[in-house]
Every structure is written in C-alpha cells, then in structure tokens.
Amino acid sequence: MAQSRSRLAKVRARLDLPTVRRAAGLLEGRHRSIYSGHGQDFDEMALYQFGDDVGDIDWKSSASSGHPVIRRFVRDSNVAMVLALDTGRNMAATAPDGSMKSDIALFAAEVICYLARARGDLVALVAGDEDRIVQIPARGGTEHMEMLLRRSESMLDLEAPPSDLNRVFDRILTWFTRRSLVVLITDEARPRPEHELGLKRLRTRHEVMVIQIGDVLPTAFSDRVIDDVDTHLEIPEYLRSRKDLSAEAADAALRRRHDVAAMLRRQGVEAVTANSEDELIDRMFDLLRRQRRVRH
Amino acid sequence: MVTETFLHPWAIAAVIAVAVAALVAGWFARAAKRERTSVTWVANASYLTTLPSFRSRMSKYRVLLTGLAVVLVGAVVATGFLAARPVDKVTRSDELATRDIVLCLDVSGSMIEYDTQVVEKFLELLPSFNGERIALSIWNSTSRTVFPLTDDYDLVEEELRYAADALDFDLDSLDDLSFDPAAYDRLLDFVLGTTGLGDSSSSLVGDGLATCALSFDLTDTERSRSIILATDNEVFGNEIYTLPEAGELVDERGITLHGFYAGEVTATSAAQEKEYRDVVELYGGLFYASDDPGAVDGIIDNITSQQAAELDANPEVVITDRPEEYFPWLMALLGIYLLAVWRLRT
C-alpha cells in the first residue's frame, strides 16, 4: 500500500503477538461454531447447550448418554462476516475515557478486520443511519479491508444524520441471505426496544454479536460546556459537578445498559460494552471466549 | 420651601436604556461566545433532564435566576435614581428672612373658621421659614398674645398646631347641643382672656390692631414688619383706638398692614368693610374680602409674593444632595446580586 498509515498495521502494532494468536484462535473456534450446523460433513457429537437448534438434537445419543446431545456438521462454504456499523452522529460523541466514540468504534472494526484477514475470511460492510446507507460486499484481502475501514471512518462525524439501526438491519436482511456473523458496532444505548423486532429477524438468519461503545456521563464535565448530539442540552453552570445529580445520572445510565443487555439476552445475542480502546480488546476476547465455551 | 426633586430626571431613563442595551449586547456576545467555545459533545444524554434531582435543581436555578433578575432590575432602578441626583431644593432669600409677621386674629364667633385657615396656612409655610419671626395675637374685647415674635419654630409649630386644633370648632353645633364638650372646652381655654371688659363689648378691632402694632420689637434693626389682620370689623363697645387711629399707629411704626375681611352681610356690613378697606389700602397694604374660608390659602400666598417683590428678594436656590434614600438600596441589592452570582457559580 502506498499509504503509510495502514489501519491494519496500526492494529497490528497495538496487539502483541500472543494476543493475536489467541484471538485468531478464538475467532476460528467461533467460526466453527457459527457455521457448524447444517452442512454435509458430520463434525462431532456435542452436549446440547442453550441456544443450539432443538432440531439438531440426536435423540438416540441423548437417550444413551442421559444428556441431550446434538450432532454437529461442518459447513463447507466460504466464511463471511458482516460489519454492521451505526454511523449516526451519536457515534461521534465523547466516550467515557474522553476520546471519541468513533475512534473506539473504528478500532473495533479494525480488530475485526485484522482477525478476519489473518484467517483469510471475507468481510462485508453495512454502515448506515437515518439518511445514508453504505454497503460493501464481502471480500477478502488487505486492500479491501483498508478501503472498508477508510469508508467507515469517513462516515463517522458530528455532521452525520441521527442513528437508525433498523435501516442497517433491513439492508443486511435483504442482501445477505447466507448465514453470516454480523458484528454490530453501536453505542451503549442501542439496540433500543424499537430495534428488537429487527434484531430478532436478523437473529433468525445470522449469528449476531454486538459491540457497544460506552457513552460518557453528561455530568462528568464540571468545567466544560456540553451538548447532546441529538437533543439540545442546556446545562447551566449551577448544575454541573453536583454529586447527587452525578450519582443519579450514573444510575440511570447503568439501568439503561441493563435494559439493553436484557433485551440482547432475550434475543440470544452476545454483547460487550467498551469504554476505551484498551478495554475493547479485553472485552472482545472475553466475548469470543465466552462464545466458544458455550458452543464447544 | 423644601422640595425633593431630581436634578437630572432623564438619567433614570438613560440608565435603564443603557442597562437594556448592555443586556442585549451581552445576549449577543454570549451567543457568539457559545459559538466559539468548543462544546463537548455527548450522546444519549437526554435522560439527564428527566432525572428528579436535575428537575428540582433546575427549578431552584430558575427561581434563583428570577430573583437575580428582580435584584438586577432593582439595582438598575436604584442606580437610575442615584444618577438622576436626588436633591433637596431650598429656595431661600435672606431678605424674606428678615420678615416679622404678626398674625392678628379676631376670635369673635363669626371669624373662628377663617382664623383656623390662617393658622393652618402658616403651619404649612413654617418649614420654609429661615429667620422669619412670627407672633400670634388673638383678640376680641381685649387681646391675648398667644406667643410673641419668635423664630423658635418648634414653639411656633406647637402653638399654631394647638391653635388650629382649638379653633377648629363648629359653632353651629352649640345650637343643637351636638358639640363635643372637650373641643368646646379647648376653644374656651384658647380664647380665654380675650373677653375681659364686660359682656357688652366685642370685636374691638382698633384696640386689637393697636396691641398687635405694639408687639414688634427690635425697632432699631432693619426688618420687614407686617400684620396680617383677620376681622369682620363689627365693633361693639367702646374702643380706645378706632380702626383708623390704629391704622395710623401701625403706619407710624413702619408696619405694613394686610387685611382680610369676612363679614356677614348686614345693614352696616358694607360700611364696615369700606372703613376696613380704606384703612388698609391707605397705607399700601393688601386687602382681601371673601366669605370663603378656602380663599385664605391663596391670599396668604399673594401677601408672601407681594412681600418678596417689595423686598426685592432674589430667591437663592440651595441644592443639597440626598442620596441616602437610594444608596443603601443600591448597596444592598448589589450585595445580594454578588452573593447570588457566587452561589450560582459554585
């Protein structure tokens, strides 16, 4: 690449080798678990876990072992991931560590692309909000990933339209008919209840993983003028740095996180919330590991 | 005469206009500043305004702001008043201050109402006196000096007030016995000693006037001397001085006689009024006749201005700043304002 600041190279610099290996291994395991199911080649017998298709239960084996057992098959088709990116202006706001949420979101996308490239997987992009929708079909290779990330980066800014995840979901449902791993990158307040139906439909066809970028508390700044990207917020100086207000805001934010988490759990979607780039790496690997434990 | 006034009344409007202009300018400056200062953008924070503590604090904040606005408006108004220079204007003339005035009042029954008016008018004029001396002499068949010529205005005020109070009696109420006995006693007490020479004589105007003429002192100093005589000139009994004789005596002593006539219309009243008028006008005094007690006010103003003209008195206006009424307000409001702003900022 002519460009010196390759995004993937940057990720490479941040992840140490053991981590990368571990992560790649985790992703591999994850992929197997995603694509195992309805292929032709029998893979293995495994104990039924919550979330497995009930139709896969091998009743004879279950009867003999005394536990529900499923039969796994390996899918022989190409592996594809869909990077579903929320590009609403909410993603360009401030993260809890003071950095931009968009930076953390991009970093998450970079890590995903990096791991996918390492495995030779294909990555597609569906990025959208209320007005825009950008779709890049699944392809492999460094050039493609770099282009995809640059495209994502150009869409994340404060001038962007408000977020609308349902448009992103609809686009994925329309264009990606093959079972894929959809990695949704949004913020801690989403998916909202109005996205639940879309998520449910998405979930029937794809494996879904959500990476949520944390939002900074609006009460975290005592000396700066803050404003909400979606609804204008006028906080007079008198109300800044009030401890009780801070506590109450933290409480409300936590409750909202719990609500979103409960909804995602209901839909069988794994999710992580990251408040900073460093936390993101740990959380993503936690997520992959957790997924693997469930599946194997 | 002391008048409280503003030296620059337009300053009130000017200060308020400046404050409003500053407010508008501040508003735009604030908007521009807001534009320039970097806003820290957050997302999904709209829940903040729904938090109970936010709402309660916000309403408290609004109350504080409203209070602040009220305080500020008050401070601006106080500043306006101060900038308008509240002053006491005293028009004072040294020539007028050399006046000696003897109030020479006939306290026979028919004149009591007019006497009250004269006394009350002088009570009103009293605060503007500065060096003038005043005496009150009442007479019927004999004279009583209530107080001699003095510039002890505390005493004068006290006596005039008592006189006004005592003379404020409706004689008609004696007929139907509806009078207040205490008020009647007060009147009798006040006019005591003016009916000494038997019951047959009353309103001995010549004697009364002569007594008044003799009540001037300091004859060797240059002072303006005047008598304000109020009578109906209805004489019963034998006088030592007739009215013309008394008038001559008055003139001899360099005293100006101003007359006020308020008689009932009787067979002899025209002659009485004419005699009275002739005496007063012969020596260059001012003569007024009226059956309306309310006219007394204007008459005394006329006499005063006539005296001012005769004495060639150039009234001198003395201005005294009186900020003490508004200054504590401004200080208190500014103090409250600073406290409130400090409270809002922390």
Pick from A252, A269, A163: nearest CA to A211: A269
Which residue from B45, B58, B345 is facing A237, i.e. has the nearest CB? B345
Pairwise pLDDT comparison (B191 vs A271), residue with the higher score: A271
Per-residue confidence band for B197, with pLDDT thresholds at 50, 70 and 90 = low
- DSSP letters for A77-111: SPPEEEEEEE-SGGGGSB-TTSSBHHHHHHHHHHH
B156 lies in the same domain as B63? no
State whether ipTM is beyond 0.90. Answer: no
Q: Which of B8-12, B36-40, B253-257, B321-325 has the lowest mean pLDDT?
A: B36-40
Query: Does residue B263 form part of some domain?
Result: yes
State which amino acid sits at residue A132.
R
Query: Does residue A279 form part of some domain?
Result: yes
Query: Does residue B171 form part of some domain?
Result: yes
State how far the Cα of A27 lies from the Cα of A211, in Å rounded to an integer.
Answer: 15
What is the CA angle B168-B174-B180, rounded to 5?
55
A84 lies in the same domain as A62? no
Residues 109-138, chain A: which have Cβ within 8 Å of B?
none
A48 lies in the same domain as A126? no
A169 lies in the same domain as A236? yes
State whether residue B4 is helix, strand or coil: strand
What is the CA angle B141-B143-B145, rounded to 5?
160
Residues 56-85, chain B: which have Cβ within 8 Å of A?
57-58, 61, 64
Residue position matching structure tokens 């989403």: A190
A58 lies in the same domain as A156? no
* B54/A226 Cβ within 8 A: no
A136 lies in the same domain as A279? yes
pLDDT at A4: 42
Count of the separate structural domains present in chain A: 2
State how far the Cα of B341 lies from the Cα of A199, in Å rounded to an integer.
Answer: 51
Cis peptide before A191 (omega within 30 of 0): yes
pLDDT of residue B202 exceeding 80, the answer is no
Q: For residue B76, what are the contacts with CB-CB under 8 A and spacing of at least 6?
A: B15, B16, B19
A205 lies in the same domain as A94? yes
Which residue from B38, B53, B61 is facing A238, i.e. has the nearest CB? B61
State how far the Cα of B166 lies from the Cα of A206, in Å rounded to an integer.
Answer: 111
State the CATH number of the domain containing residue B310. Answer: 3.40.50.410
Residue position matching structure tokens 């029998």: A42
B77 lies in the same domain as B102? no
State whether residue B240 is helix, strand or coil: coil
B277 lies in the same domain as B224? yes
Kindly give the pairing relationship between strand B256-261 and strand B224-231.
parallel
State which amino acid sits at residue B46.
S
pLDDT of residue B166 exceeding 80, the answer is yes
Min Cα distance A194 → chain B (Å) is: 15
Tens of pLDDT, residue by residue over B231-242, are 888 777 777 888
Tens of pLDDT, residue by residue over B23-79, are 999 999 887 776 666 788 888 888 888 888 888 888 988 898 898 899 989 999 999
What is the CA angle A196-A199-A201, rounded to 5?
110
- The share of chain A scoring above pLDDT 90, in percent, equals 32
Query: Does residue B42 form part of some domain?
Result: no
- CA-CA-CA-CA torsion sign (A16, A21, A25, A28): positive
A161 lies in the same domain as A70? no
* A219/B42 Cβ within 8 A: no
Put simply, whether A195 touches B (Cβ < 8 Å) is no
The alpha carbons of chain B give a radius of gyration, in whole angstroms, of: 33
Q: Which of A21-30, A174-183, B102-111, B313-322 has the lowest mean pLDDT?
A: A21-30
* B41/A215 Cβ within 8 A: no
Put simply, whether A31 touches B (Cβ < 8 Å) is no
pLDDT at A83: 92
Put simply, whether A250 touches B (Cβ < 8 Å) is no
Count residue pairs from A and B with Cβ separation < 8 A.
98
Q: Give me the helix-helix angle, B269-282 and B243-252, nearest 10°.
A: 10
pLDDT of residue A76 exceeding 80, the answer is no
- The share of chain B scoring above pLDDT 90, in percent, equals 8
Query: Does residue B310 form part of some domain?
Result: yes
Query: Does residue B111 form part of some domain?
Result: yes
- DSSP letters for A240-275: TT-HHHHHHHHHHHHHHHHHHHHHHHHTT-EEEEES
* B57/A228 Cβ within 8 A: no
State the CATH number of the domain containing residue A167. Answer: 3.40.50.410
A47 lies in the same domain as A162? no
Assess contact for B240 and B255: CB atoms under 8 A.
no
A49 lies in the same domain as A95? no
Please report residues of B whose CB lies closer than 8 A to that of A237: 344-345
Please report residues of B whose CB lies closer than 8 A to that of A230: 43-44, 46
Per-residue confidence band for B107, with pLDDT thresholds at 50, 70 and 90 = confident
Assess contact for A172 and A100: CB atoms under 8 A.
no
Q: Which domain holds residue A112?
A: 7-18+20-25+76-295
Query: Does residue A31 form part of some domain?
Result: no
Residue position matching structure tokens 């980066």: A153
State which amino acid sits at residue B189.
D
pLDDT at A287: 74
Assess contact for B5 and A55: CB atoms under 8 A.
no
B161 lies in the same domain as B148? yes
What is the CA angle A156-A158-A163, rounded to 5?
70
Residue A43 tokens read as 């893979």
A258 lies in the same domain as A125? yes
The one-character DSSP state at A19 is H
Query: Does residue B41 form part of some domain?
Result: no
A181 lies in the same domain as A289? yes
pLDDT of residue B281 exceeding 70, the answer is yes
Query: Does residue A128 form part of some domain?
Result: yes
B174 lies in the same domain as B295? yes
B216 lies in the same domain as B249? yes
Per-residue confidence band for A234, with pLDDT thresholds at 50, 70 and 90 = confident
State how far the Cα of A185 lies from the Cα of B73, in Å rounded to an integer.
Answer: 53
Count of the separate structural domains present in chain B: 2
State how far the Cα of B328 lies from the Cα of B324, in Å rounded to an integer.
Answer: 7
* B52/A225 Cβ within 8 A: no
Q: Which residue of A has its CA nearest to B343?
A: A238
The alpha carbons of chain A give a radius of gyration, in whole angstroms, of: 20
B77 lies in the same domain as B120? no
B190 lies in the same domain as B241? yes
pTM of the model: 0.57
Pick from B254, B258, B256: nearest CA to B219: B254
Pairwise pLDDT comparison (B124 vs A217), residue with the higher score: A217
Query: Does residue B40 form part of some domain?
Result: no
* A249/B43 Cβ within 8 A: no
Q: Is B157 left (phi over 0), alpha (psi -120 to 50) or beta?
A: alpha
B299 lies in the same domain as B339? no
Burial of B18: CB neighbours in 10 Å, binned 0-12, 13-18, 19+ = middle
Put simply, whether A226 touches B (Cβ < 8 Å) is yes
Min Cα distance A21 → chain B (Å) is: 35
* B44/A239 Cβ within 8 A: no
B62 lies in the same domain as B98? no
Query: Does residue B15 form part of some domain?
Result: yes
- The share of chain A scoring above pLDDT 70, in percent, equals 79
A99 lies in the same domain as A201? yes
Q: Which domain holds residue B176?
A: 94-314
pLDDT at A25: 58
State how far the Cα of A249 lies from the Cα of A216, in Å rounded to an integer.
Answer: 11
Put simply, whether A16 touches B (Cβ < 8 Å) is no
B219 lies in the same domain as B332? no
* B47/A215 Cβ within 8 A: no
Provide the β-strand partners of residue B226. Answer: B101, B256
pLDDT at A286: 75
Q: For residue A33, what are the contacts with CB-CB under 8 A and spacing of at least 6?
A: A291, A292, A294, A295, A296
Per-residue confidence band for A214, with pLDDT thresholds at 50, 70 and 90 = very high
Pick from B149, B136, B138, B142: nearest CA to B111: B138
State how far the Cα of B150 lies from the Cα of A80, in Å rounded to an integer.
Answer: 119
Measured from the Cβ of residue A152, the count of other Cβ atoms closer than 10 Å reads 24
B80 lies in the same domain as B139? no
Put simply, whether A206 touches B (Cβ < 8 Å) is no
